[in-house]
Amino acid sequence: MKVAILLSAILICAGCVPPRPTQKPFIRTMVDSITGTGSAGKSRFVVLPGLKDVESTDLQFQEFSSYVEMAMTDQGYQKVEKPEEADFLLFLTYGIGEPQERLVSYTVPTWGQTGVSGSYTTGSVSAYGNQANYFGMTTYTPTYGITGAQTVNRSVVLYKRFVALEAVDRMTLQEKKKIVPIWKTSGMSMGSSGDLRYVFPFMISAIKPNLATNTGRSLDTVREPDDPYVERLRSKTR
């Protein structure tokens, strides 16, 4: 009976051991933004491709630019249909790098018996003539928990994802044929997802509060998988 109780306790405890910890599924984006003196009073914009050989009819560009347009209008800017109606032209570039393999280490707990929480004794008495014999057995209830930790090493594949928005003064470009940037906001993300369509709205959500501002440095931002603004952006393309 003692053996049976111990085996049952071990089986129950084995089912309680937590799975190996994994990285929390969030999207981290480094945001950098810089602005010049010529951005004041300019609110009307049109989004144009900033990538070579990408036309405005490209389906991926149309999807990504719709996210940008929504973020811009939410920040108080006005979208126009034709470049000649805009105060500035907003050139959109984006991309994803080749997969990079890296070695990561993390610590996981080890489980085992940590002690005894209690015990109970059962027994019986047998009599034979003028003699009596007592037979008893004590059963101990073990406790289980973290007994230590071990370091686990594994390799992961990471991708570098990026997006950049560069605003160019439309009037100067039209009249003087000269490109004069008035502000630039960009985001760079490194993570395990090689799906740029999945990651892109998270990066837009991260850079949105910093559009046309001067951050002074790169800002480390985090977006959860259920970020409400990401859901709002995605609903625009459904």
* Residue 201 host element (H or E): helix 196-207
- List helix spans (H) across 100-180: 170-176
CA atoms within 13 A on the CB side of 228: 0
CA atoms within 13 A on the CB side of 130: 0
Domains in the chain and their CATH numbers? 2-18+112-151 (no CATH), 27-103+154-235 (3.30.160)
DSSP string, 54-74: --TT-HHHHHHHHHHHHHHHH
What is the tens place of the pLDDT at every residue in 15-40? 443 444 444 469 999 999 999 887 88
The proportion of the chain whose per-residue pLDDT surpasses 90, expressed as a percent, equals: 57
Contact 182, 168 (CB under 8 A): yes
The confidence score (pLDDT) of residue 124 equals 65
Q: How far apart, in whole angstroms, are the C-alpha atoms of residue 109 and residue 144? A: 12
- β partners of residue 155: 103
| Token duo for residue 35 | 């602005």
Contact 208, 75 (CB under 8 A): yes
What is the tens place of the pLDDT at every residue in 189-217? 999 999 999 999 999 999 999 999 999 99
The mean-pLDDT minimum among 51-55, 172-176, 185-189, 198-202 falls in 172-176
Q: How far apart, in whole angstroms, are the C-alpha atoms of residue 55 and residue 45? A: 18
pLDDT band at 5 (very low <50, low <70, confident <90, very high): very low
Answer yes or no: is pLDDT of 13 > 50. no
Contact 229, 219 (CB under 8 A): no
* Residue 99 host element (H or E): none
How many C-beta atoms surround the C-beta of residue 99 within 10 A? 11
